[in-house]
A = this chain, B = another copy of it.
């Protein structure tokens, strides 16, 4: 079914080891005590560019470098973490990168992308940016690095779970947020091999539940328009032809309400002292739901995807006080 295998994840790990951080796995005594389970967090928010995305982009280029087939130029369309990932990965291989984005890209993300040496071209809307990157990709010796639907991207993202499961054995459940499905797909490939008894579970915003709908329909479904969710890393309109069949092999899938993901963003920032983005905290909301179905102590790994949060998201996250109600599985 899948064109990507565990061996690809292992190869990716060797290939990108010197290009990315081995991020720490953290836990909270207080949280474990309250919930009565062991919960571990793979802190990809402390990864270079502040998100796991650098793993996939680095693997994409490192594999071409290995084959002596490095492109002369790379292009990508993104206004988020993928833009920074492509910019930094390209700079590691001394290749010029151009990012096609929209005029409403946040100034801080544009500045970071430019800092990594990429040219940032802004278009009036996403359709125009997508058209421009497509044209640019037709230039000879130019590589268009996709955000998730590519074997080398999936294998690269899988290295985060590979590291986490090598560090913490005997996990019974592993949770990842889902946008296009690159992280969840890579996580599944690593987990089936390293913790074969563990359940692999995806989490998506209820307000951007294209993958949940796709799983129910048995075919890829798309969002009708831009979704209203604070989990902006999971707002992707649909998953890909490569990620979908892998996602179909997962053991569970949760659609998370905005209030749940805000609650867990506050609590994870407070307990872990990390600037965790709502997309990551969403996975912990799935953990809390899942644990309510279990009668025996579980050992869970949560893939904290990143920590890039806009000021307006931070303002919305901290509007109300959810720290008053201590996490519990009793309600």
Binding site for B on A (CB under 8 A): 29-30, 33, 45-46, 50, 106-108, 111-112, 115, 266, 269-270, 272-275, 307, 309-312, 314-315, 317-324, 326
Residue ID in chain B nearest A315 by CB atoms: B318
Cβ of A321 and Cβ of B326 under 8 Å apart?
A: no
Cβ of A307 and Cβ of B108 under 8 Å apart?
A: no
Cβ of B319 and Cβ of A46 under 8 Å apart?
A: no
Query: How far, in whole Å, are A106 and B326 apart by their CA atoms in the complex?
Result: 12
CB contacts (< 8 Å) of A266 on chain B: these are 311, 314
Query: How far, in whole Å, are A315 and B311 apart by their CA atoms in the complex?
Result: 11
Cβ of B270 and Cβ of A273 under 8 Å apart?
A: no
- 19 extra interface residue pairs, beta carbon distance < 8 Å, beyond A30-B112, A30-B115: A30-B111, A33-B115, A46-B273, A50-B273, A107-B323, A107-B324, A107-B326, A108-B270, A108-B323, A111-B326, A269-B314, A270-B275, A272-B275, A273-B307, A310-B323, A311-B320, A311-B321, A311-B322, A317-B318
CB contacts (< 8 Å) of A30 on chain B: these are 111-112, 115
Cβ of B45 and Cβ of A273 under 8 Å apart?
A: yes
